[in-house]
Chain A
């Protein structure tokens, strides 16, 4: 129950009680007094809670000084009425300070346009600024790491890329260091300060790597923590059928055994003779247990029609089918694969391909070869691209499952050249794309969480909680009103690795300290402000707004009503006195008059 309703009920009850007593008293001017009492009651309520009215006003531009504004820029703003400074701005002393943009807009209600000067709006103020057209007068970014792209989480043992940009780092270099402060990889910075580093993840868990940006003289520009959350893999069930052993299969089987992939295989050696891992027979039951079937054109040719139809049915039910091209396709196989959506033809194409940029391998001589094939497919997406952008493998959707065609000939060279991580990353990504979908969706974690900044976690289970770095638990309150997203806000107070624990699974996320990676935060603010500033100004310079009506007319009216009531009471009392009414009655009436006055 709010205050206005409570006050209204109290005033109403008092007025009704007064009116009832007046009605019983059988005195002159009864109805006039009752009316005056009710009017006074209504007016009293209006004095306390005046009605809201729309007001039209001339709107102006407010200049908002944000952190990061240069001193030279700040010096040009004097304490004009329309200039305000956010906290953290070293503005001239006569400039008005505001705690946030919302407060500034309340104080300067006539604001129609916003001119943001400096580093940009903090994320706190972004929502408040959405309603206004914005002009952004940006300061140059501070020196340091201003862009950083890191995968939110990486699989154990896989290669991952860290890219970004160092402001003022032209000619310098950047180092990626492990938690024990040893350099994992380093690279010179580009002319514009951009960099791309590739590293291999270790086992599942969270680790704080570090990025050290150095300028051309080797002086440190900025050191920031690079949190990496490594996930353990799933146990993939693979059925491998091959027409002949080859080097790719050798390394593929080795990787599968090491990575915990449950592999059953049948590699034909001769007519009726094969090398077996487990029992690799195609039956509907076996296929239902399998996530992906890898086969090649030679093994495909040996399958009978019933087996093939069982395979296709299993694909429709969600199985992944991975077709390797290891040589010329027989016509009937080509026709059957065309029916699966892939038109494979022999073609005279350059066979040398490079994967260097795709998988970030450190091996500079990662020169591989592709089969001389041209594959046309409808509704297919590239599964693997060479550095020049040409496809080396395609996949398409077939029912609930997926089918892929792969014509890279010698991925084993990566492993042979010593980069087993690149080989494993290549194949695990390819198989993960094609294999049966069994994974559990991860909650949406805050991407760049910071201490004292609101973060939002979405897609939460019922019993989700956050485990802080000191192992204390924070239960989350899911906002059920916001529809199906099941989001909860989390306001971190500690820096370090937090973990969202939901349904028995841990989803770690990192919270940066407020002071850490300040250039990155500044660049983020500037980008967010620029996004706002990009919108068209839709609102006119004149605007209306809803404001409380002034109180004094109601007070004056109430005073008049109360005075009139007093006058009526006074004349009545005098009349009663002259009529020599008995004493008790008189006192009662006096009390009633006082009561009425109070109620009015």
Chain B
């Protein structure tokens, strides 16, 4: 082998060694980088990091190899003293060397041929390599052992999802809700497990589970179950919702659901129809002269649709105790008020032919509308109030010979103060559309009603002569226009004829009038004394307000009358409420007095009595105990609460919410929000305890010493200064 070839071989060895060392040092770094990438970002990026790192390692190894050139080999060879620092001559072109250099080169070649040069490749740095690999392994181990969450804190959702890999997911949710046909609501679909459906709706569940279970059931809170059937990869089931319910999805052959709680389906109840009577305006109407028919107008509305309306007409004929009734029912056909919602808002008009009915003088016609909605199977029915049309009978004349004038008394179909207020408000609203005369006429009509009511309440005070007495006494607060009021009295209807006589104040002195005035008992003593002075005072104030209201009404100024009307109503309510505090008397039943022992001083048989005072039963201790356990993060006894709730389903305002909250806490005892919600729901159920008592804090040693010293001082000073 020539020298050249041998030197070349040496260089080649050194290059390979250098590259090997570089790769051995770089490999742990590369492994560490890959591991970090895999932990922090993911395996996909780890592959990319691995590729980049390998390329980088190869590049570095190549550069390390290239750093070994002829100069480097020459330097290493020069380390041997026998080459006499002239190893670079071996790499030069012989032709270009000076003779002296050629001579030296020859010497070197000879020496090398005799004794080949030692290996010049760098030593394997085994210790450093061991250290590097050791450090790298430790670092990699730390990365592996560090908790997953701390590496990417922002990505907590991913880790939560990771925890639930053992739970079944609901991939797709589809609830087809078919409302009952009568509601005419289109069936719709929701993608949630909780919703509100019209009462009686059919709910079709269509659920996709991942992974698919062997069997699935919907367990309802009332104990009923709906087995879900398999349809392809979907699970389907059906139930008709009669009432609100809670349900849970129970799976067989698969892990439970990730969100394994009770779901709530609320049934929206079908409301009964609402009936309003437009005409007649009053509950009692008197037949006008020449009236042949009676117009009736009703309005009704319902949340879905009205199916039927029946008008019940009752004819009451006769007098005194001899009254016959004739009843008939007419089906009415309504017209839609709101054309876009046919059947929901209806107006019913009917013209009652009185002649056909056979009404005679003194008869009553009583009508009432009953409206049914289209609920199935059993419709909701609402009945309106009854309205009376009366053909007033002739004045009776059978009281001849009695003192004074006897009028037929009328039943008390007078309007309430509230009704007067409503009428006034209606009038005020209508005022801009009416001519002045019409306003005056309607206002005056309301004023008449107000007057009747005032007189009616006046009876309770026994002050039938109020009108006159108020006119005469200026001390009483009294509207100045009362004379006008009296003048208008002619406008009163026949109903108040009984009072007319004392309105004719101008006739004072007229003998007939005097007879009329004093001819019958005005002051009903029984009525006057029934009421205590306080109530009387309030009633009196109410009457004063009514006076003022009437004044303004009669003058056609309803807006000014309204405040007085409201005040009068307030006073009347006070009277009504104050009359409610009277309680029925209960007799005190004492044992009969033993007359033989009375006042004899004999105490035989009289002994101490042991009282048995039992603490009040606050009840509902289940709720209280649970509430307190939840407060202290304890483990609550949910079963007893659930039993307690189920026993009181009808009494509790929202027992379903309570059951759902209880269930959530039971399934997830660590859920802070669930516990808080359950406590909130329990709060209204907590009993009100009696006030507890505490003892003050016991004084410490110095406090006791102070109190003792205080007592000693006091005793000393007490003995020093006699009282």
Kindly state whether residue B506 has any CB partner on chain A within 8 Å.
Answer: no
**Contact residues of B: prevailing secondary structure:** loop
Which residue in chain A gives the minimum CB-CB distance to B625?
A203
Q: Which residues of A contact B611 (CB under 8 A)?
A: 253, 265, 275-277
Q: Within the assembled complex, what's the spacing in Å between the Cα atoms of A397 and B710?
A: 9
Q: Which residues of A contact B609 (CB under 8 A)?
A: 269, 273-276
Q: Which residues of B contact A399 (CB under 8 A)?
A: 707-708, 711
Kindly state whether residue A155 has any CB partner on chain B within 8 Å.
Answer: yes
Q: Which residues of B contact A255 (CB under 8 A)?
A: 690-691
Q: Which residues of A contact B607 (CB under 8 A)?
A: 273
Q: Within the assembled complex, what's the spacing in Å between the Cα atoms of A469 and B671?
A: 11
Kindly state whether residue A257 has any CB partner on chain B within 8 Å.
Answer: yes
Q: Within the assembled complex, what's the spacing in Å between the Cα atoms of A205 and B695?
A: 19
Instruction: Tell me whether A439 and B691 are in contact in the complex, defined as CB-CB below 8 angstroms, given that A257-B615, A316-B711, A470-B672 are known contacts.
Output: no
Q: Within the assembled complex, what's the spacing in Å between the Cα atoms of A158 and B693?
A: 9
- Looking at A41-49, A55-63, A419-427, A571-579, the stretch in contact with chain B turns out to be A419-427
Kindly state whether residue B338 has any CB partner on chain A within 8 Å.
Answer: no
**How far, in Å, is B247 (CB) from chain A's closest CB?**
25
Kindly state whether residue A524 has any CB partner on chain B within 8 Å.
Answer: no
Which residue in chain A gives the minimum CB-CB distance to B613?
A257
Question: Do A439 and B695 touch across chains, with their CB atoms under 8 A apart?
Answer: yes
Which residue in chain A gives the minimum CB-CB distance to B710?
A397
Kindly state whether residue B114 has any CB partner on chain A within 8 Å.
Answer: no
Question: Do B710 and A202 touch across chains, with their CB atoms under 8 A apart?
Answer: no
Contact of B692 among A420, A428, A438, A440 (CB under 8 A): A428
Which residue in chain A gives the minimum CB-CB distance to B693?
A428
Question: Do A260 and B631 touch across chains, with their CB atoms under 8 A apart?
Answer: no
Q: Which residues of A contact B603 (CB under 8 A)?
A: 270, 272-273
Kindly state whether residue B627 has any CB partner on chain A within 8 Å.
Answer: yes
Contact of B691 among A424, A437, A467 (CB under 8 A): A424
Kindly state whether residue B689 has any CB partner on chain A within 8 Å.
Answer: yes
Kindly state whether residue A600 has any CB partner on chain B within 8 Å.
Answer: no
Q: Within the assembled complex, what's the spacing in Å between the Cα atoms of A424 and B690?
A: 7
Contact of A157 among B681, B691, B723 (CB under 8 A): B691
Contact of B696 among A379, A398, A435, A469 (CB under 8 A): A435
Instruction: Please provide the chain A residues from 329 to 343 with a CB less than 8 Å away from any CB of chain B in the complex.
Output: 338
Q: Within the assembled complex, what's the spacing in Å between the Cα atoms of A178 and B685?
A: 12
Q: Within the assembled complex, what's the spacing in Å between the Cα atoms of A275 and B614?
A: 15
Instruction: Please provide the chain B residues from 662 to 716 with a CB less than 8 Å away from any CB of chain A in the complex.
Output: 670, 672, 679-681, 683-684, 686-699, 704, 707-708, 710-711, 714
Q: Mark A176-211, 1 if CB is under 8 A from B, else 0.
A: 001110100000000000000000101111110000
Which residue in chain A gives the minimum CB-CB distance to B618?
A258
**How far, in Å, is B453 (CB) from chain A's closest CB?**
32
Question: Do B695 and A234 touch across chains, with their CB atoms under 8 A apart?
Answer: yes
Instruction: Tell me whether A158 and B692 are in contact in the complex, defined as CB-CB below 8 angstroms, given that A179-B679, A180-B681, A258-B616 are known contacts.
Output: yes
Which residue in chain A gives the minimum CB-CB distance to B621?
A203
Question: Do A156 and B692 touch across chains, with their CB atoms under 8 A apart?
Answer: yes
Q: Which residues of B contact A155 (CB under 8 A)?
A: 691-694
Q: Within the assembled complex, what's the spacing in Å between the Cα atoms of A231 and B686?
A: 15
Q: Within the assembled complex, what's the spacing in Å between the Cα atoms of A272 and B681?
A: 54
Question: Do A180 and B684 touch across chains, with their CB atoms under 8 A apart?
Answer: yes
Question: Do B707 and A400 touch across chains, with their CB atoms under 8 A apart?
Answer: yes
Kindly state whether residue A36 has any CB partner on chain B within 8 Å.
Answer: no
**Contact residues of A: prevailing secondary structure:** mixed
Kindly state whether residue B610 has any CB partner on chain A within 8 Å.
Answer: yes
Question: Do B608 and A275 touch across chains, with their CB atoms under 8 A apart?
Answer: yes
**How far, in Å, is B37 (CB) from chain A's closest CB?**
33
Q: Mark A251-289, 1 if CB is under 8 A from B, else 0.
A: 001110111110101000110111111000000000000
Interface size class of B (residues with CB under 8 A): 35 or more
Instruction: Tell me whether A180 and B689 are in contact in the complex, defined as CB-CB below 8 angstroms, given that A205-B628, A276-B610, A397-B707 are known contacts.
Output: no
Question: Do B707 and A467 touch across chains, with their CB atoms under 8 A apart?
Answer: no
Which residue in chain A gives the minimum CB-CB distance to B723?
A338
**How far, in Å, is A209 (CB) from chain B's closest CB?**
10
Contact of A233 among B628, B672, B693, B723 (CB under 8 A): B693
Kindly state whether residue B5 has any CB partner on chain A within 8 Å.
Answer: no
Kindly state whether residue A519 has any CB partner on chain B within 8 Å.
Answer: no
Kindly state whether residue A109 has any CB partner on chain B within 8 Å.
Answer: no
Q: Mark B589-632, 1 if CB is under 8 A from A, else 0.
A: 00000000000000100111111011110000000100110011
Which residue in chain B gives the minimum CB-CB distance to A258?
B690
Q: Which residues of A contact B689 (CB under 8 A)?
A: 156-157, 202-203, 258-259
Question: Do A259 and B613 touch across chains, with their CB atoms under 8 A apart?
Answer: no
Question: Do B633 and A471 touch across chains, with their CB atoms under 8 A apart?
Answer: yes
Question: Do A270 and B606 touch across chains, with their CB atoms under 8 A apart?
Answer: yes
Question: Do A431 and B699 touch across chains, with their CB atoms under 8 A apart?
Answer: no
Q: Mark A200-242, 1 if CB is under 8 A from B, else 0.
A: 1011111100000000000000000000000111101000000
Kindly state whether residue A522 has any CB partner on chain B within 8 Å.
Answer: no
Q: Within the assembled complex, what's the spacing in Å between the Cα atoms of A202 and B679?
A: 13
Kindly state whether residue A296 has any CB partner on chain B within 8 Å.
Answer: no
Instruction: Please provide the chain A residues from 461 to 518 with a CB less than 8 Å away from any CB of chain B in the complex.
Output: 467, 469-471, 497, 499, 506
Most buried by A among B672, B695, B708: B695
Which residue in chain B gives the minimum CB-CB distance to A238?
B693
Which residue in chain B gives the minimum CB-CB distance to A341?
B714
Q: Which residues of A contact B608 (CB under 8 A)?
A: 273-276
Question: Do B690 and A259 touch across chains, with their CB atoms under 8 A apart?
Answer: yes
Kindly state whether residue A6 has any CB partner on chain B within 8 Å.
Answer: no
Question: Do B692 and A260 touch across chains, with their CB atoms under 8 A apart?
Answer: yes
**How far, in Å, is A20 (CB) from chain B's closest CB?**
36
Question: Do B696 and A437 touch across chains, with their CB atoms under 8 A apart?
Answer: yes
Q: Mark B67-96, 1 if CB is under 8 A from A, else 0.
A: 000000000000000000000000000000
A-B contact pairs, 16 of them (CB 8 A): A155-B693, A155-B694, A157-B688, A157-B691, A203-B628, A204-B692, A207-B683, A257-B614, A265-B611, A269-B609, A273-B606, A397-B710, A400-B699, A400-B708, A428-B692, A439-B697
Nearest 6 interchain pairs by C-beta: A233-B692, A424-B691, A258-B690, A428-B693, A471-B633, A157-B691
Given contacts A399-B711, A436-B695, 7 further A-B contacts (CB under 8 A): A178-B684, A180-B683, A259-B691, A420-B690, A428-B692, A432-B695, A441-B698
